Chain A
């Protein structure tokens, strides 16, 4: 009896989470700017100070002081919408960077296993962090996730920088090889 309960509980939690994601995606009555289709890369490559502003706790504290439930709901809906759009765009940009890297690696004659492993582990960690942040926004809202969002932002910048450095080094390596 006990093992059945233990397996049903995670399944129920996953079902509740998926239902919440679907429900939040199907709500179109609150018009938010982030609902509009936007270029992923433009959305993802946001300066760190503005990522911090998206998740800023002080704004929530200020809104809470005004003691208006509709205002609180509007604030949370706006911030959640923007935060999720940013996380999704960051995840999409990460996938694109990795795709480009794989294509470049296939044509490279002098692959360094250590560098490849490092980039791949950065990619896996970043995708995991994006998923965790997305789940956390859905469950807890964006106002308590300043640290995690900054971590995701830094990881994304590191991966972009590593890929750009490799792309810049490739022509030189090719020249040296000839």
Chain B
């Protein structure tokens, strides 16, 4: 009975997160970056003020952790062509110079912090490998507008 009482609010918080925050983001890669940014680098704990106010900090944390894992598995399993397309969508949605963002992604590899804790190592390795490849592929793809990120 206790387990049911704790799981139901987490599921509600998870649905709330999907509908209110994550639905506005145009691709899973963007959702992954967003949810990963809710995690404290030092403690690994997630924080979301709105969700914590509607539910409780513990429930919000569990819902964010669940969402992070689900979205990560989706992105890690994407075919390379889909990942590259999502990267283009993400670049177009983040209101920064795409060339600058790509340069930073290549040099700083910030996508490494998008991996959830306690994830399968092969899946994490596949994700890192695919993002590295997509970053090399991206300048070779035709982009819809002029902000074509050139090869660094």
* A and B interact: yes
Residues of chain A whose beta carbon lies under 8 Å from any beta carbon of chain B: 32-34, 38-39, 42-47, 49-51, 53-54, 56, 58-59, 62-63, 66, 68, 71, 74-75, 78-79, 82, 85-86, 89
Residues of chain B lying within 8 A (CB to CB) of residue A89: 122
Residues of chain B whose beta carbon lies under 8 Å from any beta carbon of chain A: 76-77, 79-81, 120-126, 128-129, 132-133, 136-137, 140
Interface of B is mostly: helix
Alpha-carbon gap, A172 to B112, bound state (A): 46
What are 14 inter-chain pairs, A to B, with CB distance below 8 A?
A: A33-B128, A33-B129, A39-B121, A42-B120, A43-B125, A46-B120, A47-B120, A50-B77, A56-B79, A59-B79, A63-B137, A71-B140, A82-B125, A86-B122
Residues of chain A lying within 8 A (CB to CB) of residue B125: 33-34, 38, 43, 82, 85
Q: B119's closest neighbor in chain A, by CB?
A: A42
Residues of chain B lying within 8 A (CB to CB) of residue A33: 124-125, 128-129
Would you call A54 and B137 a contact (CB within 8 A)? no
- Given contacts A43-B122, A66-B140, A71-B136, A53 and B129 within 8 Å (CB-CB): no
Q: A40's closest neighbor in chain B, by CB?
A: B121
B70 CB to nearest chain A CB (Å): 13
Interface of A is mostly: helix
Residues of chain A lying within 8 A (CB to CB) of residue B126: 50, 53-54, 82
Residues of chain B lying within 8 A (CB to CB) of residue A45: 120
Would you call A49 and B81 a contact (CB within 8 A)? no
Alpha-carbon gap, A42 to B121, bound state (A): 5
A33 CB to nearest chain B CB (Å): 4
Alpha-carbon gap, A82 to B120, bound state (A): 13
Residues of chain B lying within 8 A (CB to CB) of residue A42: 120-122
Q: A34's closest neighbor in chain B, by CB?
A: B125
Q: A44's closest neighbor in chain B, by CB?
A: B122
B129 CB to nearest chain A CB (Å): 5
- Given contacts A71-B140, A74-B133, A82-B129, A62 and B122 within 8 Å (CB-CB): no
Residues of chain A lying within 8 A (CB to CB) of residue B140: 66, 68, 71
Would you call A46 and B122 a contact (CB within 8 A)? yes
A170 CB to nearest chain B CB (Å): 28
Would you call A71 and B123 a contact (CB within 8 A)? no
Q: B78's closest neighbor in chain A, by CB?
A: A53
Would you call A78 and B133 a contact (CB within 8 A)? yes
Centre residue among B76, B80, B81, B140 by max chain A CB count within 10 A: B80
B110 CB to nearest chain A CB (Å): 15
